[in-house]
Structure 1
Amino acid sequence: MSSFLKQAVRRIQRGLCAGAVLLGLSGAVLAQTAASDAGAVRLLLEPEPPTALVLTTTAAGSLTLSPKTNEGLLAFSLKLEPQPQLATQWSISPDGLQYTFTLRQGVKWHDGTPFTSADVAYSILTLKEVHPRGRSTFANVERVATPDAHTAIIHLSKPAPYLLYALAASESPIVARHLFDGKGIHANPQLTAPIGTGPWIFREWVKGSHVIYDRNPDYWGAPKPAVQRLVIRFFPDVAARAAAIETGEVDIASGSTVALTELERLVAKPNLALEEQGWQYTNNITRVEFNLDNPYLQHHKVRQAIAHALDKQAILKVVQYGYGKTANGPISPDLERFHLKDLPDHAFDLKKANQLLDEAGFPRGANRVRFALHADYWPNSSLYRRTAEFIRPALARVGIAVTVRSQDAPAYLQRVYTDRDFDFTVHPMSNLFDPTVGVQRLYWSKNFRKGLPFSNGSGYQNPEVDRLFEAAAIEPDEHKRKELFNEVQRIIVHDLPDITLFVPYNFTLYNKKVGNHTITADGTNGNLADITKLP
């Protein structure tokens, strides 16, 4: 291992060891809560999300919470086959301009109000306006007709071949019209204390500790759920999280909540098992996104130089401990239907990086520094902090001084998407099940809106990319859609508004007493109505 890699590993290990100091305190708090919730299923989530409803955000933690209370029209099997949820039947007109849904009867909101087609119409049209992906997902929606209380008809101006697959709870939650209409959206208390139709009734959110849901006795899917209580626990300390799943104080740890350094040891425990399914709906990537308003990063050659200065294989080895795989371009290789395999890559080449920076007009100064940048990272996992910490010395080798900044999730969202007070960020993004829904939002110039999180944060504008995305969004022919997305990928890899680094290793670690936690394409981001737990 090179001295550079050794230093990077030591920096990351020091961060992990420091966290272990808090283990005793965190474990004591968890044990106290666990004693009062005997028999509950406990799910580990980190970091604490900004909301419990994904009407206005796509924050990862919110995607986990929201479907427990607020369901979608459809669910999707592990093979991405549509299944009934709030809709029992659906049909699409031959011209692709009309989607008709027969809604489940006898469903009530948790406050006792009947669920009707008016709720569906309100939700779809609201998602179109306020959801980070909704502007593109529902761009072609003209109106939602409600001929009766149990029928909703979505009318489109143009075909939307991806639309049916966007109707899962974690992507397009159905909310109660009577709790939102005329009461505002962004400051509505429903965002943090939601009333839904789902199997779990929201009880409390103690900031910094937990969210509690109780079984919905009037759930339309009764006798589900079989468990009386669902507790979502928050642990900022990575060592405490590992101890909690190991000792049985929590039952499920999904995604990056458990350190990869602990994974092999934990999987060997007789009470624990690993599940790799349940990520088909998300298709996450980790990337660097540039603020194209930055005077240095406006230069194409500077962005090229940064790409050549980053050794993706080394990042995977040091940051991901060898788990996952490197990636190139805006579409994840896991989204095989649309990923273009033969994209040109900016290979690791320090000589080329230095040459490009010289050509861009930024020579090294007396202190060997060309210019300075700030790196901000999404705080929902130590993975993104470690990635930013790797990038800092990597760019120092070509004369770019990087300062890594940390903040909580609300401050990060404010800085990046509202104030635009950043140079580049390190964060995950979900490609989801279709590029129109998961990828277009990140590069479409019409999705560059201050205050809209998880959107076009770079401020990227390319009329040809806009045209290609918009054409793909209405193209019913799968082969032609793929060709349009192929060209999108070629242009974005050339323009470099961002750099895709790797595809993380996605997994769910669970106690063997718990069953039926991963039966849909969104895994533990589903409603968990079917979950069971042995005594």
Structure 2
Amino acid sequence: MIKLSFAPSARLARRLSLSAALSAGLVMTAMTPAEAAKTTLNLGMSVEPTGLDPTIAAPVAIGQVIWQNVFEGLVTIDQAGKIQPQLAKSWEISPDGLTYTFKLQTGVKFHDGEAFDAASAKFSLDRARGADSVNPQKRFFASIASIDTPDAETLVLHLSAPTGSLIYWLGWPASVMVAPKTAADDKTTPVGTGPFKFASWAKGDKVELARNADYWNKDAAAKLDKVTFRFIADPQAQAAALKSGDLDAFPEFAAPELMSSFDGDARLVTRIGNTELKVVAGMNTAKKPFDDKRVRQALMMAIDRKTVIDGAWSGLGTPIGSHYTPNDPGYQDMTGVLPYDVEKAKALLAEAGYPNGFTFTIKSPQMAYAPRSAQVMQAMFAEIGVTMNIEPTEFPAKWVQDIMKDRNFDMTIVAHAEPLDIDIYARDPYYFNYKNPAFNALMKKVQETADPAAQSAIYGEAQKILAEDVPALYLFVMPKLGVWDKKLKGLWENEPIPSNVLSGVSWDE
């Protein structure tokens, strides 16, 4: 446990001294510990991470604690979703797209004192792409054929094929730089280069981070001395902790139906932002009747997305018509491609040979949005003569086994959290069992260019294909529901990548 001082800041001390000088004889009251403690933050999360190393496991809760706080990457994704330099201060891409040369920051040290340089960067990437890698995004590094380190400040990646998304992928939590001597222990005691150091983890309760006084980037140094992540699963308990002041912030509040309970609270504010959480009802397109595009289109046209959002998430969410969010480059609103139209849906079913509908089962994980969405969809499908049975499915273990591994399902519903993951429909295998050569060609083409404008145009074409083919029923993007103290500054309202980036967070004095 690291003990932290609660002494007034230097700026506050100067202000007190000035006041004393100007107001001789004025009796000043001592600050209470609570008033002096505004360099600490108690932040709530619904889910406790299973470990603290995002390079060996995928759950978003890992990144929400340590990404950009403890660990950093060669590049980073800012709150506008843009790529920014980080441990790499610049880079050049060869005209053929096969060589990436990075110039690294100098004078950077890991929290254990080990130097960050080209050798440790090579170690991190080799660990992520190697034969024994368990990195959840190992595919990001698949095109890296070899890595050179001409000097301590230069890292050269040689690719086997152009990979236009590589720089973006290097900004993900799975791509952070790790220290060679301590990487094996990062799951429980993470060591990075970030503005905060890992302090302690009380399993089942909290993770504590402490300010890194030796942080290399003085312009982005932490303003907080201590951050405590507290894990509270129950939404009623989350709300109670916020209202009592036990928590200062809950950047991803779990219960939209309780958001209005904070109305009129003198201390707290609520914020509704964007995320990458795309709620979709994926179909097994290798099974009848879902192998018929007309059936999939009919189901899509039977759904009134606004009613789904009202029933599943208290009206808080953004309707989508493809596997893409308004945060993403080249986003196009595709909700009008197959709009809500019961009569046209019935006609499409009849044309496909199902004039009296059919019966199927949706496997619904236990997260609140899934059964709520499924119940609304169930009523809507009944309007076109389709019977949908709802089978609760434990997540993640049973869901992963049934859907991702065995493909033993008709339809499922889940929120896809990965940013810019439209390429999942080109992966083989993937649970939709979707095969479209034209779509696959676009996903290949987007990697053959590093030009953002060209990539955006390609992504636009890809969105249109999915909107018309509907391998999944595209429902809505879940919002980022934030509740925090009005005096807190710098928390991200939107979430272009799973994050609680805290280096810019401070308290108003």
Q: Is the structural similarity TM-score above 0.5?
A: yes
Give the residue type in structure 2 aligned to 1:201. K
Give the residue type in structure 1 aligned to 2:422. V
Q: Would the aligned equivalents of 1:210 and 1:234 in 2 still touch at CA under 8 Å? A: yes
Pick from 376, 396, 405: which aligns with 1:390?
376
* 1:400 is aligned to 2:387: yes
* 1:313 is aligned to 2:300: no
Q: Distance in 2 between matches of 1:520 and 1:171?
A: 20
* 1:326 is aligned to 2:319: yes
**Match for residue 258 of structure 2?**
262
Q: Distance in 2 between matches of 1:482 and 1:106?
A: 37
Q: Would the aligned equivalents of 1:283 and 1:332 in 2 still touch at CA under 8 Å? A: yes
**Match for residue 290 of structure 2?**
297
Pick from 358, 366, 382: which aligns with 1:370?
358
Give the residue type in structure 2 aligned to 1:339. Y
Q: Would the aligned equivalents of 2:122 and 2:149 in 1 still touch at CA under 8 Å? A: yes
- Three-state SS of the structure 2 residue aligned to 1:118 is helix
Cα RMSD for the two superposed structures = 3.5
Give the residue type in structure 1 aligned to 2:387. I
Q: Would the aligned equivalents of 2:198 and 2:209 in 1 still touch at CA under 8 Å? A: yes
**Match for residue 92 of structure 2?**
91
**Match for residue 122 of structure 1?**
123
**Cα gap change, 1:55/1:534 in structure 2, threshold over 3 Å: closer, same or farther?**
same
**Cα gap change, 1:131/1:493 in structure 2, threshold over 3 Å: closer, same or farther?**
farther
Q: Rg bigger for which structure?
A: 2
Pick from 423, 426, 433: which aligns with 1:444?
426
- Give CA deviations for 1:160-211 in whole Å, capped at 9, x if unaligned: 444333332535222234455xxxxxxx653354332223333444444332
Q: Distance in 1 between matches of 2:293 and 2:136?
A: 27
**Match for residue 470 of structure 2?**
496
User: Shift of residue 328 of structure 1?
Assistant: 0.5
Q: Would the aligned equivalents of 1:271 and 1:511 in 2 still touch at CA under 8 Å? A: yes
**Match for residue 167 of structure 2?**
164
Pick from 340, 343, 347: which aligns with 2:332?
340
- Three-state SS of the structure 1 residue aligned to 2:461 is helix
* 1:44 is aligned to 2:26: no
- Three-state SS of the structure 1 residue aligned to 2:210 is strand
**Cα gap change, 1:302/1:523 in structure 2, threshold over 3 Å: closer, same or farther?**
closer
- Give CA deviations for 1:213-241 in whole Å, capped at 9, x if unaligned: 33345433469434333222222211111
Q: Which piece of structure 1 moves more, 465-474 or 53-62?
A: 53-62
**Match for residue 64 of structure 2?**
64
Q: Distance in 1 between matches of 2:228 and 2:401?
A: 29
Q: Distance in 1 between matches of 2:489 and 2:475?
A: 34
**Match for residue 532 of structure 1?**
506
- Three-state SS of the structure 1 residue aligned to 2:44 is strand
**Cα gap change, 1:304/1:378 in structure 2, threshold over 3 Å: closer, same or farther?**
farther
**Match for residue 30 of structure 1?**
none
- Three-state SS of the structure 2 residue aligned to 1:525 is coil
Q: Would the aligned equivalents of 1:202 and 1:212 in 2 still touch at CA under 8 Å? A: yes
Give the residue type in structure 2 aligned to 1:145. D
- Three-state SS of the structure 2 residue aligned to 1:270 is coil
**Match for residue 154 of structure 1?**
157
Pick from 413, 417, 426: which aligns with 1:426?
413
* 1:508 is aligned to 2:482: yes
Unaligned 5+ runs, structure 1: 1-33, 181-187, 449-455
**Match for residue 251 of structure 1?**
248
Q: Which piece of structure 1 moves more, 150-159 or 490-499?
A: 150-159
- Three-state SS of the structure 2 residue aligned to 1:145 is strand
**Cα gap change, 1:204/1:338 in structure 2, threshold over 3 Å: closer, same or farther?**
same
Q: Distance in 1 between matches of 2:452 and 2:321?
A: 22
Pick from 215, 220, 244: which aligns with 1:219?
215
Q: Distance in 2 between matches of 1:192 and 1:457?
A: 32
Q: Distance in 2 between matches of 1:517 and 1:48?
A: 20
1:192-207 alignment runs, 5 A limit: 192-207=188-203
Q: Would the aligned equivalents of 1:378 and 1:412 in 2 still touch at CA under 8 Å? A: no
**Cα gap change, 1:328/1:261 in structure 2, threshold over 3 Å: closer, same or farther?**
same
Pick from 454, 459, 462: which aligns with 2:436?
462
Q: Distance in 2 between matches of 1:508 and 1:443?
A: 31
Percent identity (aligned): 27
- What TM-score do the two structures reach when normalised by structure 1? 0.76
Q: Would the aligned equivalents of 2:362 and 2:413 in 1 still touch at CA under 8 Å? A: no
**Match for residue 234 of structure 2?**
237
**Cα gap change, 1:327/1:234 in structure 2, threshold over 3 Å: closer, same or farther?**
same
Give the residue type in structure 2 aligned to 1:316. I
- What TM-score do the two structures reach when normalised by structure 2? 0.79
**Cα gap change, 1:519/1:332 in structure 2, threshold over 3 Å: closer, same or farther?**
closer
Q: Would the aligned equivalents of 2:320 and 2:335 in 1 still touch at CA under 8 Å? A: no
Q: Distance in 2 between matches of 1:343 and 1:392?
A: 20
**Match for residue 210 of structure 1?**
206
* Structure in which a larger fraction of residues adopt helix: 1
Give the residue type in structure 2 aligned to 1:213. L
